[in-house]
Homo-oligomer: A and B are copies of this chain.
Amino acid sequence: MISITLIGSGNVATHLYNAIKNCETIVINEWFSRNLTQISKYSNEVSITSDLQNLKESDVYIIAVSDDAIEDVSKQLPFKDRLVVHTSGSVRLYDIDMKHKRGVFYPLQSFSKDVDLEFSEVPICVEALRKEDFNTLKTIGEALGCIIHKVNTNQRKALHLAAVFANNFTNQIYRIAHEICESQSAEFDILKPLIKETARKIDDVSPYKAQTGPAKRGDKKTIKKQLKMLDNEMQKDVYELLTKSIKQTHGQR
């Protein structure tokens, strides 16, 4: 049984807590939040605390707080030589205070407080300095049913940046599609099968091979007609830039 102290009460911490509490081989020993009211509703299930100076002893301390606070929290922990990991995609492993055994346990997924998620489908990117620490983190991830990926810091940062494109930017593209539908009282819902098929298709073919449409074909007439339909400067800019990007990728002028 691996015992864990969870530090933080945001989306990642909450999803992690809910996933771990259903596990038989790992246990949340204690849950820390600076603001106890954030987690007080879990006090019947788990030991909660807002006192960083008197944390219980656990096998692993998972710091799931905002990026800017990780270094500071790790310094404040009143012990050394224990395994302390953060869950961030972009913070260096070395930002954890060197008095600890250090690691990273980065679940690559977009967590929303109100949206349920099958945690076993979340890939976990793991980094550690020592082999036995890596194995401990791997065991935790596997107990959650997740696939574990050993990555270095540069790979993790690249994945995190790519995730901003694949998640935030894609979602903004959906948002613009939504606006365009609404401008003509068309139902955005009609697009949902297309959106899902677009995401599904990359299981079969690369995004490069999956591309279709006017920009890929170099169909200037359709591009011109569609640009005319957009009445919003930002939408026009996005249309033009992504059309240019597709043309560049596929060798159209």
Contact = CB atoms under 8 A, between A and B. Distances in A.
Interface of A: 67-68, 90, 108-112, 114-115, 117, 121-123, 125, 149, 151, 154-159, 161-178, 180-181, 183-188, 190-208, 210-216, 221-222, 225-226, 229-230, 234, 237-239, 241-242, 244-246, 248-249
Given A173-B165, A212-B112, A155 B195 contact: no
A171 B112 contact: no
Contacts of A109: 193-194, 197
11 contacts: A110-B197, A158-B181, A161-B226, A161-B229, A167-B194, A167-B212, A170-B173, A172-B207, A173-B242, A174-B207, A175-B208
Contacts of A190: 108, 123, 125, 149, 159
- Copies of this chain, whole number: 2
B237 A90 contact: no
Nearest to A122: B193
Contacts of A122: 193
A171 B165 CA distance: 11
Nearest to A167: B198
Given A110-B197, A168-B216, A176 B245 contact: yes
4 closest A-B pairs by beta carbon, nearest first, are A158-B184, A168-B213, A199-B199, A174-B207
Contacts of A208: 175, 178
A221 B239 CA distance: 27
Given A123-B190, A199-B199, A225-B90, A175 B213 contact: no
Contacts of A67: 222
